[in-house]
Amino acid sequence: MQPVEITLRYIVAAACLAIAAAAVRLYGPLGALPAVLTTILVLPSLDTLLARLFPEPVGQEQPTPGQGVLRTTFALLLTTLRVVLCFAGVLCSLYLIEHSAGRAALRLEHAPVIEYRPHVTLEGTASVPMFGGRGEHPPQLQLNGQSVPVQKGRFATRQPLQMGLNTFRMVLDVLDGKKDRPGTLEQTVVVRRVSEEQYDRETFGRSDCTLTEPSARRSGAWGPGYPTSRFSGSTELHTARLRGRCAQELTASWLPLHEQAAALTLSATVGRGRIKVLVRHPDGTFERFTVTKEKPLQYSGLVQLVPMRSTVTHPSNLSDETPPTASDEEFWVAYVSLESLPSDDGEGAIGITEADAAFDLHFTAHYTLK
């Protein structure tokens, strides 16, 4: 191998390592793998290794014509394969880098459409190209013209609310991966602030929450002897973290009732934070409770039952090849709403997103219908 060829190979290997460094920054080790393999294939030391694995005949030993043809064909195929893999590895890594250079994202993950409190927390992700031969470009995010800090691709900000409609326009400055000129991604969200009474009416029975490590258990059945039978049911929820509004459904199969109400006994405790427990009485009025670590909840009373219709699919019978069937079934359901409240600590010591959450929640409910 000539010195010029050896020098050129090392130059190509160094260029491949630079491409691998750019790819690993964007995609991790897997993104750099094609360029790293190309570096190995182009290094002169690989020729020495191949020569040891497939040595040329030495001394007086001469290969037969058939052996010479096979050896020449194998060497040609091996060289062709190395060239193809070198080009493919470089092009693959360059494609990954160029593809990532134009990829930016702005997504709101927490943005309620209705709220009764005087502020709202907006949370999400904002990512922009960080490398591509053009230098670093840190995320520049603005909310209604005000800068919002972005840390490790995530943002969280608490914004004041006025009664009525509140419009929040988020603009993320990005770098165009092809034209090297600034561009923007935009997203607009509208939050409606209402009174707490209206908020409870519109959201009661609907969930909009995030649960971490939840475990739930339900049971219930009608006793024998209808019409004098009684339905007894229970539900239990434990979660390490609750953020948002979680509706608990207390259900029973439909039978005529003496009174459209359920006798309910419930308990709720939290290890940290605060939650709002909301129940609705048979006359339609709401009762609210605030639960803290120092103030657990024990409640007994009547709650409103409402009919619910659901379509149930019954599985097919394999013995007589009966196809699956669907039927409409009716249930009674009572709701209990569990909603995390902002911590008294605000956002100073534990952060905005954690201040809106409650931790180590235990909720149990026992209810009867007759």
Q: Residue 101 — pLDDT band, cuts 50, 70, 90? A: very low
- Angstrom distances, CA of residue 252 to CA of 162, 335, 369: 41, 12, 8
Confidence of residue 348 (pLDDT cuts 50, 70, 90): very low
In this prediction, residues 1-27 reach a mean pLDDT of 69
Helix, coil or strand: residue 65: helix
pLDDT value of position 197: 95
Range ranked top by mean pLDDT from 14-28, 228-242, 268-282, 337-351: 268-282
Instruction: Report the length, in residues, of the chain.
Output: 370
55: Cβ contacts below 8 Å, ≥ 6 apart: none
Instruction: Report H helices in the chain.
Output: 3-27, 29-42, 45-53, 65-101, 196-203, 352-355
Local confidence band at 96 (pLDDT 50, 70, 90 cut-offs): low
pLDDT mean over 63-83: 62
Contact assessment for residue 191 and residue 112, using Cβ atoms and an 8 Å cutoff: yes
Alpha carbons 216 and 234: distance in angstroms, whole number: 11
Tell me if 334 sits within 8 A of 367, measured CB to CB. Answer: yes
Strands 119-127 and 154-160: antiparallel
Dihedral angle sign, alpha carbons of residues 16, 17, 22, 25: positive
Q: How far apart are CA 287 and CA 303, in angstroms?
A: 10
For the chain, what percent of residues have pLDDT higher than 70?
A: 66
On whether the CB atoms of residues 142 and 186 are closer than 8 A, the answer is no
Residue carrying the six token digits 């219908």: 369
Average pLDDT over residues 183-199: 90
Q: Which tokens sit at 12? A: 């190509």
Query: What pLDDT score was predicted for residue 349?
Result: 41
Indicate whether 275 pLDDT > 70: yes
- 105-193: CATH class: mainly beta
Tokens 């031969």 correspond to 133
Rounded Cα distance, 155 and 109, in Å: 10
Q: What integer pLDDT is reported at residue 350 of this predicted model?
A: 47
Q: Where are the domains of the chain?
A: 3-101, 105-193, 205-369
Confidence at 132, pLDDT banded by 50, 70, 90: very low
pLDDT at 40: 74
Which residues have CB under 8 Å from 222's CB, separation 6+?
229, 230, 231, 252, 253, 255
Listing DSSP states for 162-202 in one string gives: -SEEEEEEEEEEEE-TTT--EEEEEEEEEEEE--HHHHHHH
Q: What is the CA radius of gyration of the chain?
A: 33
Note the pLDDT of residue 162: 95
Dist CA 235 CA 238 (whole Å) = 10
In 180-198, which positions are buried (b, 16+ CB within 10 angstroms) versus exposed (e)?
eeeeebeeebebbbbeeee
Q: Model confidence at 133, in pLDDT bands (50, 70, 90)?
A: very low
What CA–CA distance (Å, rounded) separates 303 from 266? 11
> For 262-276, 316-330, 335-349, which range has the lowest pLDDT when averaged over its residues?
316-330
Residue type, 283: D
Residue 317 carries which DSSP code? B
Rounded to 5 degrees, what are φ and ψ at 83?
-65, -45
